[in-house]
Amino acid sequence: MNEDYRNEIADHGASLIDEIGLVDEGGEEISGGDYSRQAITWTSATDGTIRPESDLTFDIPGGSTVAGWRGYSDVGTEYGGDDLTAESFENDGEYKLLADQTGILHVSG
């Protein structure tokens, strides 16, 4: 499919994902402390790729390991995401998910 089609599909996909959450090495969402999913606004698709419009900062409870992100609908449907380089938090802290390094790519083929 051509780029126009992939961009339309990517933009529609963005309309399904309202929140981003972080997961541990087992794929379970981080929980506890002040952690919460973050609302997401996506860029318009380019080359079949959507990205967050801005970085997202999450409060991480001590004893947690951040190992990936997942996209969720506002009713809690998980649509998948990507793995990250694992980062362990001995104490409470913050994790910044960088917009320019996070995205969903729709490919043809």
**Paired residues of 42 in beta bridges:** 52
Boundaries of domain holding 80: 3-105
Residue-wise pLDDT for 69-107, tens only, equals 999 999 989 999 999 999 999 999 999 999 999 999 988
Q: Indicate whether 108 pLDDT > 80.
A: no
Mean per-residue pLDDT, 3-22: 95
Tokens of 95: 């994790």
Quote the number of domains for the chain.
Answer: 1
pLDDT at residue 1, rounded to an integer: 83
pLDDT at residue 109, rounded to an integer: 65
pLDDT at residue 107, rounded to an integer: 81
